[in-house]
Structure 1
Amino acid sequence: MRHHFVSFFLQEQQGRPPPTTQQTIAGKLFRTLFKGLLFSQLTLISLLVIVLTIRGLISASTHHFHLKKWYPPLLASVAVSGIASLAWQCIFIYNPSRAVKATFWLSPILTCSVGILLVLIGSAVDAGIGAVFVLFAITQSLYGCWITPRLEYTDKILSLATAFPPARTREVVCLSIIVSVVYSGFLVTGIGGATSTRTNLDILFISVIIISLAWTMQVIKNVQQVAISRARYVNFAHGEDMDAWNAFRITMKHLTGSICVGSTLVPIIVFIRGSIRSVNLMSGSSDEVMYSGADCFSTIANKLITLGNRWGFVHVGTYDKGFMEASSDTWKKFRSTTGLEKLIDSDLTSSFCFLSAVSVGAVSSLTAGIWMLLIHKDYALEVTLYAFIIGYFVGRVGLAWLQACVLAYYVAYSEDPQSMRFDGTIPQRIQRLQMLSAHRDNRELEVGRDREEDSYNNC
């Protein structure tokens, strides 16, 4: 079994044009740089948190900072986020279809609840931020109504991709959640230490800690994603089993640099690409200048997606490629298969994971916010927001294995669409999308003809 996989790996490597020595050295240096940056920032942040915590404990009494009122609600909410993430795994495993549907109506309700809680705190700032949460909840509700026709396919693809996960997957997931919870709790002590004195410099320290939290959580999530997608890809592509724990160990030992690069690029590219798509939706095609601008933005978006996308993590884990090379190779495979790029682009797995993490963040936020509202209203806003941010990232870590399985399924399919290991789910969905697109184009053509006839008659 192992020999078969190694021989396939060598064949795949031989099938690609060999990179130049300069590119290889540059790629290795880039990965080493980001790996060093990760461990450097972990060391520096740890020292900063320790210093802030000690200083906060010493100066708490002089600055009237109530340690017993600030720390317990936030630390409890961090623990709740871990429990909620583990509970969500059980719900999904028990009934994936109901879990998917529940996410798209539960997330808006929980988000709206957080907004109402912030409004109840009473100040104008709290009410303003609460209104943002309520607006976000309304947006989620409208999005849920819009994507309802796609839920059936999402149920199928998630069920197919996550059925019979690699051995010891739960161990990897539980370890990742525990690490993220412990690390978040550690950073909370530093945030509390900085909050106790409330100087302008302390605001900067808190911002740095939160940025560090976000990036580190991305790395933890993507380490899990690379490891499990590697094990799942072997099963989908070759019908062989690979232990998720062994894949996790290999990932930690050899692939951390590429994962750090991807953890930096993917959120930036997703944000830019999402903004471009929003601009395109708002611009329409009635104005020539706006249309040409939208076309230019679309070209930029199509270029960005080849430089960095989450599907590249599969090739990072399987073939030890650099992240940008892996992203480019996977997207070329998608484009070479008719209709697959459009299908990938409309996939709801990332939306499901995002809204599930928002739900975990909202549960964590409500835990801390209600507690603070009852015992110390002055800290309610900041503690509620910290709890939401931490809960969201812990939720993303907990759901990384789901997304990893789907990524591996799509990548393996793109490399061999005729394989007997895949059923007709993807081809049928591609055919359905093509029919809908043709129907839409015909309708737009008829509308255009009607407008031309009306214009001619008016003349």
Structure 2
Amino acid sequence: MEKKEEQETIDNGGKISIQISSSHAETAMVTTKRSNSNLAKLIFSGHLLAVAIFITFLSFRGFLEAPGFRPTHWCIPLAASIAVSAFTAISLLFLSLHHPSIALKTSLWLSPLFTTFTGILLLATGTGIGLIFAAFTLTGALSLSLYSCSIATHLKHTNQILTISITTVPPSIKITKFILAGLFTGLIYTWFWSLGAGGISAKGSPFAGIYILVLFLSLAWTMNVIRNTMHVAISRIAYMQLMHGLDVDVTQAFTDAATRSLSTICLGSAMVPAIGTFRGMARAMAAIAGGSDEFLFSCTACYINLANLLVPSGNLWACVHVGIHGKGFVQASRDIWEMFIKQKMVPVIDQELTGTFCFLSGIAGGALSALIGGSLMLAVEKKYATEGIVCAFFVGYFIVRLGTAWAHACVLAYHVAFAENPGNPRLGLAMSECLKELETSPR
């Protein structure tokens, strides 16, 4: 194993930093990055160019050629929903940094409430497609309500870990500037994206379903790339504080994430949502099937096993090692999952609710955006209200998820830091206590 020389220095401001100098280590890192290549980044860049052309075509075709369509009746409600989602994202960011317990409970109770109101609004559109979406939304609201009630008593450890980890990256002008830059980038993209969605709604097409799917996949991938860039940079800062009590230059962390690690982030941003969705479907199927051996559920065990095989190769904790060590996404995922298994942390990771908090925050923000934008659209252009409500929801969901990236990245770093050194006094006792409770609880 090659030896690395570490040297601690103190800058003019009295902050401790760490320098690692090893030509062999640097060469290995460069070789690893070259082997991973920039293929994912090239594909992502090409996809952005293609989607930009596609959206421009849809916008001009819909807004200029569709008879009776008024672009302002589409654009103004969507602009209002985007503004609301930005305000919600910033509010949740502030709340999660200063009052994490309140932020957890707020997302828990507001997500089913706002989702219910959105379902009622969809019913008010009076269209067949609106009725379908309303049924799906109201069913989702009921599921969220039951889920929120079931986990309300399990927030103790999540709140403790969230509170400890967030303190490692205190608010500063520098980091806030980068977070707001990412949020602004997301706002610009979602506004441009909404023009393409409006073009589809205005003109219509036999291939409208395919067009919408393409636009949605592009929105999801792009917004996840922005969010995971934040994850990589912030988790690097949090990890160094948790493990060594050292400060990392904020500008350098974000610059490295947006340049040297971008290809890895693009790959991970495509893999994690796909694996997460598959795993969620497998778990839902298992919950519905119970102990049934009916034909419809005969492959449930296969789906669960496949999902469990995929997660170690593609998980969000990889962002920590991507930022710290410059690893490829798959390798970082596997290395970290092996540490989780070694420390018997996998059951705790499965029960940890920070990811749930981020998801529910996105649902609440998306539903609130849909309520604002959909109400305005229902008042001025009822014909396109259903499409407008759905678009506003997705826009709001992804923008609010950007606002929760700071808190989530800190928790990701905490988990990895604990897996590497469970005896670290900077980590507190929250994770150790949770592991002990799992060991002593009846199975």
Q: CA deviation at 1:429?
A: 0.9
Match of 1:49 in 2: 55
Match of 2:256 in 1: 250
Alpha-carbon distance change, 416 to 94 in structure 1, aligned in 2, over 3 angstroms: closer
Distance 2:297 2:439 in 1: 24
Which secondary structure state, in structure 1, belongs to the residue aligned with residue 316 of structure 2? Answer: coil
Q: CA deviation at 1:239?
A: 0.7
Alpha-carbon distance change, 196 to 299 in structure 1, aligned in 2, over 3 angstroms: closer
Which secondary structure state, in structure 2, belongs to the residue aligned with residue 272 of structure 1? Answer: helix
Q: CA deviation at 1:414?
A: 0.6
Question: Is this contact kept in 2: 1:284–1:290, CA < 8 A?
Answer: no
Distance 2:264 2:70 in 1: 43
Question: Is this contact kept in 1: 2:97–2:407, CA < 8 A?
Answer: no
Alpha-carbon distance change, 238 to 115 in structure 1, aligned in 2, over 3 angstroms: same
Between Structure 1 and Structure 2, which shows a larger proportion of helix residues? Answer: 1
Letter aligned with residue 126 of structure 1 = G
> Which of 155, 158, 171 is matched with 1:151 structurally?
155
Distance 2:429 2:313 in 1: 30
Alpha-carbon distance change, 127 to 244 in structure 1, aligned in 2, over 3 angstroms: same
Question: Is this contact kept in 2: 1:276–1:301, CA < 8 A?
Answer: yes
Question: Is this contact kept in 2: 1:284–1:291, CA < 8 A?
Answer: no
Normalised by the length of structure 2, the TM-score is 0.89
Q: For each residue in 1:75-123, what CA deviation from the matched residue of structure 2 results, as whole angstroms up to 9, or x when unmatched?
A: 2211211111111112223321111112111110000000011112222
Alpha-carbon distance change, 286 to 116 in structure 1, aligned in 2, over 3 angstroms: closer
Match of 2:247 in 1: 241
Distance 1:379 1:170 in 2: 37
Which secondary structure state, in structure 1, belongs to the residue aligned with residue 169 of structure 2? Answer: coil
Is 2:154 aligned against 1:141? no
Letter aligned with residue 18 of structure 2 = F
Q: CA deviation at 1:5?
A: 3.4
Gapped runs of 5+ residues in structure 2? Answer: 1-6, 10-16
Letter aligned with residue 39 of structure 1 = S
Question: Is this contact kept in 1: 2:63–2:70, CA < 8 A?
Answer: no
Match of 1:264 in 2: 270
Is 2:397 aligned against 1:384? no
Distance 1:228 1:413 in 2: 17
Which secondary structure state, in structure 1, belongs to the residue aligned with residue 425 of structure 2? Answer: coil
> Which of 52, 59, 66 is matched with 2:65 structurally?
59
Q: CA deviation at 1:297?
A: 4.3
The aligned runs of 1:67-86 (5 Å cut-off) are: 67-86=71-90
Q: Name the stretch that deviates more: 32-41 or 126-135.
A: 126-135
Question: Is this contact kept in 2: 1:357–1:392, CA < 8 A?
Answer: yes
Match of 1:218 in 2: 224
The aligned runs of 1:217-366 (5 Å cut-off) are: 217-285=223-291, 296-337=302-343, 339-366=344-371
Distance 2:251 2:216 in 1: 29
Which secondary structure state, in structure 2, belongs to the residue aligned with residue 321 of structure 1? Answer: coil
Which secondary structure state, in structure 1, belongs to the residue aligned with residue 259 of structure 2? Answer: helix
Which secondary structure state, in structure 2, belongs to the residue aligned with residue 183 of structure 1? Answer: helix
Question: Is this contact kept in 2: 1:171–1:245, CA < 8 A?
Answer: no
Q: For each residue in 1:198-223, what CA deviation from the matched residue of structure 2 results, as whole angstroms up to 9, or x when unmatched?
A: 12245543432222111101111111
Question: C-alpha root-mean-square deviation of aligned residues, in Å?
Answer: 2.6
Alpha-carbon distance change, 247 to 50 in structure 1, aligned in 2, over 3 angstroms: same
Gapped runs of 5+ residues in structure 1? Answer: 442-459
Letter aligned with residue 211 of structure 2 = F
Q: Name the stretch that deviates more: 291-300 or 268-277.
A: 291-300
Alpha-carbon distance change, 11 to 146 in structure 1, aligned in 2, over 3 angstroms: farther
Equivalenced residue count is 427
Which secondary structure state, in structure 2, belongs to the residue aligned with residue 122 of structure 1? Answer: coil
Is 2:435 aligned against 1:422? no
Alpha-carbon distance change, 210 to 283 in structure 1, aligned in 2, over 3 angstroms: closer
Question: Is this contact kept in 1: 2:168–2:238, CA < 8 A?
Answer: no
Q: CA deviation at 1:46?
A: 1.5
Is 2:202 aligned against 1:189? no
Q: CA deviation at 1:10?
A: 5.8
Which secondary structure state, in structure 1, belongs to the residue aligned with residue 203 of structure 2? Answer: coil
Which secondary structure state, in structure 1, belongs to the residue aligned with residue 18 of structure 2? Answer: helix
Question: Is this contact kept in 2: 1:228–1:405, CA < 8 A?
Answer: yes
Q: CA deviation at 1:242?
A: 1.4
Match of 2:115 in 1: 111
Distance 1:366 1:231 in 2: 37
Q: CA deviation at 1:127?
A: 2.0
Q: CA deviation at 1:283?
A: 3.8
Alpha-carbon distance change, 162 to 11 in structure 1, aligned in 2, over 3 angstroms: farther
Percent of paired sites with the same residue: 34
Is 2:137 aligned against 1:124? no
Distance 2:154 2:22 in 1: 39
Letter aligned with residue 398 of structure 1 = G
Question: Is this contact kept in 2: 1:334–1:341, CA < 8 A?
Answer: yes
Q: CA deviation at 1:345?
A: 1.4
Match of 2:18 in 1: 5
> Which of 88, 92, 96 is matched with 2:92 structurally?
88
Distance 1:13 1:347 in 2: 34
Question: Is this contact kept in 2: 1:285–1:291, CA < 8 A?
Answer: no
Is 2:174 aligned against 1:180? no
Q: CA deviation at 1:422?
A: 1.8
Letter aligned with residue 144 of structure 2 = Q
Question: Is this contact kept in 2: 1:176–1:398, CA < 8 A?
Answer: no
Question: Is this contact kept in 2: 1:56–1:196, CA < 8 A?
Answer: yes
Q: For each residue in 1:246-272, what CA deviation from the matched residue of structure 2 results, as whole angstroms up to 9, or x when unmatched?
A: 211111110011001101111111112
